[in-house]
Structure 1
Amino acid sequence: MEKNKSSILNAWCMYDWANSVHSLVIVSAIFPIYFSNTAVNAQGGADVDFLGMTVNNSALFSFAVSFAFLFIALVNPILGAIADFSGSKKRFMQFFVYLGSFSCLLLYFFKRENLELGVVAFAISLIGWSGSIVFYNAYLPEIATENRYDKLSARGFTMGYIGSVLLLIFNLTMLIKPEWYGGIDSGTACRISFVTVAVWWVGFAQIPFYYLPNGTPSGLKREGGWIWNGFRELKKVLGELSHLPITKRFLVAFFFYNMGVQTVMYIGTIFGSNELHLPDNALIVTILLLQLLAIVGAYCAAVLSGKWGNTSTISGILVIWIGVCVTAYFVTTEVQFYGLAAGIGFVMGGVQSLSRSTYAKLLPDNTPDTASYFSFYDACDKFSTFLGTTIFGIITQVSGMRNSLLFLALIFVIGLLILRRIPSQKIYRSPLSTS
């Protein structure tokens, strides 16, 4: 494949534009607030009945995230290997996009009397979103040269932030100015916003679907079916990873600090709503501003990585994350929460975009098995999200949400200590990764 072709690079970035509305509207902004207001008992309390069990609604939200990411972490390495063998990355990506967007449509029917539908549809939407990302990320080393990874990754995240902000602003008008839409109530406005996510996601995804190639089939001899050969491909990549100690070390560091990053991103709005009892509109506007700061953070991280190197830049970002978690433990007012959100926004975009590009730099040169390699990166992402949100939910259920924040600070420290043992060259090359 010809690398650095502008039409393909632009199309690749458009998938960030397409899918990020799910991260913002469904995961971070409107759905968590709608969930907090809808998943309540008859007396308006937070303890609800779910499948015969009494669960705190904050913990239930966390457990739904945990289940989705555990599932995708288990299946994606196998699917990635099958995609590499068959040369069908785009087809797998399309399947997960359509699955996730259909689940967003189902959220329109989520009301207090059908809590199970809302939880299940939310979890499946997460499976669709996260399942598509592994195949999307796998295109990065195929379509661009190594010297463009950082800025291209930052550009993709930036487009995602901009696109999701535009849709969130539209959805906000339904909540703030319901008279513009026939006087609809806030619940209906929220449920319509879930439909807009599905339409936006599927619609703009057609651009990368048109331009991105399916991929080149693996050179493995075709004996047996796709599943059998998928396992062979998986075994092959596992063998190659065993000879890449720096790549493995980065995955371990990423596992720990990503556990903290993703848990904060998925639980932050619930914290503001349930712990600080902030107004719904104030929470959504805060998240909107957070996205704008994330754009600045992503580009600053790309620039700093060119001066300091990737792992040194990520290490600096992790120090800020540790401070965020410790500070959050003591937050009690609305103004303090806004200051905390500003800090999160600035480091959120940088750590995500730079982690993706750093891993791409640590892969062997000209590898054809990008989906398989990125399935391991994705597995670390999803397992860490599963573990982080599960532990967070358990601690919240037992002793309250604030104590969970100290756990997050600890895992950021562990990730930082491991990351500091990785060289921080401006450009990683495969001889380094095998030393």
Structure 2
Amino acid sequence: MEAKNNKKTIWAWCMFDWANQSYNMVITSTIFPAYFVYVTTNNPQKTDIVSFFGHKYVNTVLSNYILGLSYLIVAVLLPILTSIADYRGNKRLYLQLFTWLGSLACAGLYFFRQESPLEIPMICFGLASIGYCGGFVFYNSYLPQIATVDQQDAVSAKGFIYGYVGSIVVQLICFLVVLKPEYFGIKEVNYLPARISFLIVFFWWIGFSFIAFRILPKGTPNAGSHNYNVLTGGFKELAKVFGKIKKMPLLKRFLSAFFFYSVGVQTIMLVAANFAAKELHMPDDDLITIILIIQVVAVLGAVIASKASAKYGNTKALVGLVAVWTMVCCSVYFVTNEWQFAIAAVVVGVVMGGVQSLSRSTYSKYLPENIPDTASYFSFYDVTEKLSIVVGLFCFGFVESMTHEMRDSALALDCFFAVGLILLIVLLVAENKVVKQPATVSA
């Protein structure tokens, strides 16, 4: 087994985040959401109602449902795939497969024009999401394999920092293509600059991922039985992991809190651009600028969170971050102009990187030491996160479909933040009653 804390391996791991965050920035956060809202509302009827396989939906509700369904599919598939990865020791292969799926789906969005039926573009949109979040479970599972416990906070934060910086670079490239197409000799035909940005994501995502594909270890086989069923083994493995988690009080409390605050965190990040484009009618250039600012301050947030966790402990740092998230989510109800949105977005940027980085490293610290492969444990973590996103997106979309107000949906999400914050405080109290730190908890 390769020695931990190898600088080259950690760099390759971070470069995967550098690569795949291009999807997160362009497809879920800026250009595609704005493009989708504009294309689906710029019609003779001037309505936001769209048709999808013969059914009528509010445009943003449809996109939320598609995303929610994609995360649900991943939550169902991952136990099977991580089971195979554990058994054969080839999790790097699945990292590659999901990356190709997601990046090629982004390339397929190039053919999404205003006159196009929505079925094919939205299927590509969903497949891109599956490729992105499906690959992340295998990516995350490398953390305890490549870094020792005392280095996992810093390495996790470093991965997110690479991701944020990479997303900024690719967004600036797309920003120039969309806003200054004449610099590249592009004529405005069928919103060509926006569609070219989807191709840029494809090349960026798959291109830089090859660094990780070449350097990261393949995985460690764990073929304990020749009668092992890879289709049901993953679910059985999750059941075993769940059985072990039930005997680990602190980890059990952390995962409960993680589920609830992730409903809010992940959903807000996925719907923020739709909110700005639809509710505030924010121009594309202003929206892209604000999202870029979020990514810049998120780098600072990840660094601050890493230092705060070293000084105060992971749980105290998470309590502070989720408390800020709770207040920001509540404030969204009162946002009515670009300046208010920008201020809220900057605050979100600071806490966004921190809460994601610390959540991953905190879970990693709670894991039993010296396990042969971490894919199954991180499968449980990622299934928890994906299910929280499904709940968040369907809740957000359902409330909007009932009230036709995205602000009401934000208030509904704030309830999940509040529950997550309370559960984190309960965890903090429980930690203070035990001598062992999270890193020394055993199965």
- In structure 1, what is the Cα distance between the partners aligned to 2:384 and 2:235? 19
Q: Deviations 1:273-321 (Å, cap 9, x if unpaired)?
A: 1011111110011101110010000000000001111011011011111
Task: Read off the aligned partner of 1:37 and give its amino acid letter.
Answer: Y
Please say if residues 37 and 274 of structure 2, whose CA atoms lie closer than 8 Å, have aligned partners that are also in contact: yes
Q: Which amino acid aligns with 1:140?
A: L
Instruction: Indicate conservation of the 8 Å contact 1:259/1:411, yes or no.
Output: yes
Q: Which amino acid in 2 is paired with 1:118?
A: P
Q: For this pair of structures, how many residues does the alignment match? A: 434
- Between the aligned partners of 1:266 and 1:5, the Cα distance in structure 2 is 34
The runs of 5 or more residues in structure 2 that have no matched partner are none
Question: For residues 384 and 22 of structure 2, what CA distance do their matches in structure 1 show?
Answer: 23
1:212-262: CA deviation from partner (whole Å, max 9, x where unpaired): 111111151222453354455444433333322322221111111011001
- Alignment-derived partner of residue 74 in structure 1: 76
The Cα shift of 1:20 comes to 0.7
Take 1:141 and 1:293, find their aligned partners in 2: how far apart are those partners?
27
SS of residue matched to 1:55: strand
CA distance in 2, matches of 1:268, 1:193: 20
| Corresponding residue of 1:398 | 402
TM-aligned CA deviation for residue 19 of structure 1: 0.6
Which residue of structure 1 aligns with residue 148 of structure 2? 145
Does residue 12 of structure 2 align to residue 7 of structure 1?
Answer: no
Instruction: Please name the residue that 1:290 is paired with.
Output: 294
Match of 2:278 among 274, 279, 298: 274
Q: Is the 8 A contact 1:85 1:233 kept in 2?
A: no
- Once the two structures are superposed, what CA deviation does each residue of 1:135-166 show, in whole Å capped at 9, x if it has no partner? 00000001110001111111110011111110
Which sits farther off after the overlay, 234-243 or 130-139?
Answer: 234-243
Letter aligned with residue 79 of structure 1: L
Code of the residue aligned with 1:418 in structure 2: it is L
Is structure 2 residue 22 aligned with structure 1 residue 21? yes
The corresponding residue for 2:161 is 158
Residue of structure 2 aligned with 1:415, choices 404, 407, 420: 420
Q: CA deviation at 1:9?
A: 0.9
**For structure 1, which segment, 423-432 or 22-31, has the greater mean C-alpha deviation from structure 2 after superposition?**
423-432
Contact 2:250/2:438 (CA < 8 Å) preserved in 1? no
Give distance in 2, aligned partners of 1:427 and 1:201: 41
CA distance in 2: counterparts of 1:231 and 1:66, whole angstroms: 21
Structure 1: 5+ residue runs without aligned partners?
none
Partners of 1:48 and 1:332 lie apart in 2 by 25
| Counterpart mapping for 1:228-307 below 5 A | 228-307=232-311
Output the amino acid matched with 1:27: T
RMSD, matched Cα = 1.7
Question: Deviations for 1:93-151, whole angstroms, at most 9, x for unmatched residues?
Answer: 11100111110110001123221111110011000000000000000001110001111
Residue in 1 aligned with 2:179?
A: 176
Q: Give 2:332's aligned residue.
A: 328
| TM-score normalised by the chain length of structure 1 | 0.96
Q: Evaluate the alpha carbon distance shift between residue 232 and residue 257 of structure 1 in structure 2; reply closer, same or farther with a 3 A threshold.
A: closer
Normalising to structure 2: TM-score of the pair? 0.94
Matched, 1:360 2:364: yes
Q: Which residue of structure 1 lines up, in the alignment, with residue 349 of structure 2?
A: 345
1:121 aligned to 98, 120, 124, which one? 124
Q: Which moved more, 1:61-70 or 1:35-44?
A: 35-44
- 1:182-225 per-residue CA deviation (whole Å, 9 max, x = no partner) reads 24328211111111111111111111111111111115122245
Q: Is the 8 A contact 1:315 1:419 kept in 2?
A: yes
Distance in 2 separating the partners of 1:286 and 1:427: 43
Instruction: Say whether 1:167 aligns with 2:170.
Output: yes
Contact 1:245–1:433 (8 Å) recurs in 2? no
Give the % identical residues: 44
